[in-house]
Amino acid sequence: MQHGSDILIIGGGVVGLTTAFRLAGQGVSVTVVDRQRVGSEASWAGAGMLPPGNSVTAATPDARLRSWSYDMWDTFSAELRELSGIDNGYRKCGAVEVGTDDATVESQIKQWQTEGLDCDTLDRGMLERYVPGLHPQFQRGAFLPEFAQVRNPRHLKALTAACQSLGVEILECVDCLSICAKGSAVEVTSPSRHFGADRVCLTAGAWTGQLMKSLGVGLPVSPVRGQIAQLRVNQLPFSCVIEQGRRYMVPRADGLILVGSTEEHAGFEKRNTSEGISGLLAFAQSIVPELRSAEVVRCWAGLRPGSPDELPFLGPVPGYDNVFVGAGHYRSGLQMSPATATVLADLMLGRAPAISLDGLDLTRTTRPSAV
Ligand SMILES: Cc1cc2nc3c(=O)[nH]c(=O)nc-3n(C[C@H](O)[C@H](O)[C@H](O)COP(=O)(O)OP(=O)(O)OC[C@H]3O[C@@H](n4cnc5c(N)ncnc54)[C@H](O)[C@@H]3O)c2cc1C
C-alpha cells in the first residue's frame, strides 16, 4: 500500500506533533507515524515546567529557543483549546528557588538577572509567604513570577486532536519502520506500506540516534531516565513550582504534586527503582516536611532524549536532500517545542528560520565541544 504526503514525520512526541501542527496550519499535507500511540513516551512523562526567557537579550542557543517558545505558549494553548476543546492546563504559577547556602541562591539570581528575567530575592519571611510549611533550613530564595506550567497528558491530547482537525494523518502502532538511503534521498517503508513523501523529519526522541544509524549517520542522542513520584494532598501547601537545583515539585490545581526527577543513564530501561523513588520522597520531605503524610498516588519514568551538550539537534541531515531532525531536547523538550516546531517547519519549507540555529545544527557533533 502506498501512502503519500508532502512531509512524513517519524515520532509522534511533542516535537513531532507540534511540527505537524505548524505545517498543517500552513496547508502542508503531513503524516505522523509512530510505533506506539502518539504522545506516550517522554512527552507524556515530563513535569511540564515552562521557565521564562527574554527574547530581546537571549544570547545562547538554549535561551533563544526557550524565550521564543515562552512567548508563544499562551497563544498556542488558546489555539489548541479553540481547535480541540481541551484545556492543556497552561498557567503562570511562578517558581521559588530554594538553596541551603547564600552563594547558590546568589549565583542563580545573577544568572537570571543577566538574562534580563524578572526575579525577586526572598528572605525567610517572604519565602514563608510562598511556601508556608517550608523547612527552616532554607533562609533565602528567589522568586520567578513568570514561570509557567502545562499538564503534559492534557497538552498531548489537545495537540493530537488539533492536528487531526487540521487534516494531519496520524498512524499509530506502526512497527518495523525501515528507513533506507537511496542516493541523497531516503525511502521509508513498513512491512505493509511504502511511505512516499517529499521530506522526512525524524523526531523519535531518545530513539533518534538508532534511526539515524540506518542512514550511516551518527547522532549522539541517548536516553536519560527520569523518574517522577506523584503525591496527593487535601490542600496544596504551595501553588508555585519549587526548585532546588535540578530537583523540583510541581503542584497541580487539583491537589496533585509531581516530585522530580532523577537523571540516570540506564539505557532504554524505563522503570521506577526503589532508590530513585525513595530519593524523590526524601527530597520532597526535606523541602516541605508536612509532605510526609501526603498520599503517594503513582510513580512513573520516562526517557529523555539526552545530548552531550544538553541542546537539541535541529536541521537537515548532512549528505541528504530530504531528511531533517528535531531531537535531543533533554530536559527541555516541552518548553522548547513551539519554537522548535516553527524552526523545523521553516527549514522544511525552504525558509530561513527567524532565530539563529548556531549551536543547534547537526554538524556540531564533529566539534570537540560537543563530544
Ligand atoms: C521525568 C521527566 C521530566 C521532564 N520534565 C520536563 C519539563 O518540566 N519541561 C520540559 O520542557 N521538558 C521536560 N522533560 C523533557 C521532555 O519530556 C522531553 O525533552 C520531550 O518530551 C522530548 O520530546 P520528543 O518528542 O523529542 O520525544 P518523545 O516524547 O520521547 O517522543 C518520541 C516518539 O518517537 C516514537 N518513536 C521512537 N522510535 C520510533 C520508530 N523507530 N518509529 C516510529 N516512532 C518511533 C516514540 O514512540 C515516541 O512517541 C522531562 C522528561 C522527563 C522524562
From 207, 210, 249, 330, give the residue whose CB has the most ligand 1 atoms within 8 Å, as the site to mutate. 207
**Cα–Cα distance, 201 to 313 (Å, whole number):** 12
Cα(147) to centroid of ligand 1, in Å? 21
The kind and range of the H/E element at 335 are helix 333-348
pLDDT reading at 344 higher than 80:
yes
Number of the ligand 1 atom closest to the C-alpha atom of 175: 42
**Cα 132 to ligand 1 centroid, rounded to whole Å:** 34
The mean of the pLDDT values for the chain is 94
Residue-wise pLDDT for 8-35, tens only, equals 999 999 999 999 999 999 999 999 999 9
Average pLDDT over residues 34-49: 98
| In the chain, ranges of CATH 3.30.9.10 domains | 222-306
Q: Which band of pLDDT confidence, cut at 50, 70 and 90, is reported for residue 3?
A: low
Q: Nearest residue CA, atom 25 of ligand 1?
A: 13
Give domain 222-306's CATH number out of 3.40.50.300, 3.30.9.10, 2.115.10.20, 3.40.462.10. 3.30.9.10
Contacts of 105 (CB under 8 A, 6+ apart): 97, 98, 99, 121, 140, 141, 142
Is 114's pLDDT higher than 60?
yes
Quick check: 183 pLDDT over 90?
no
Residue 187: what are its φ and ψ, rounded to 5°? -120, 140
Rounded CA separation 130/239 (Å):
8
How close is the Cα of 265 to the center of ligand 1, in Å?
A: 15
Cis peptide before 261 (omega within 30 of 0): yes
**Where do you find CATH 3.50.50.60 in the chain?**
2-87+152-221+308-370
The architecture in CATH of the region 2-87+152-221+308-370 reads 3-Layer(bba) Sandwich (3.50)
How far apart are the C-alpha atoms of 280 and 155, rounded to whole Å? 25
Q: Cα(15) to centroid of ligand 1, in Å? A: 8
Question: Averaged over 83-112, what is the pLDDT?
Answer: 92
Whether residue 368 is predicted with pLDDT greater than 90 in this model: the reply is: no
Give 181's DSSP letter: E
% of the chain surpassing 90 pLDDT: 85
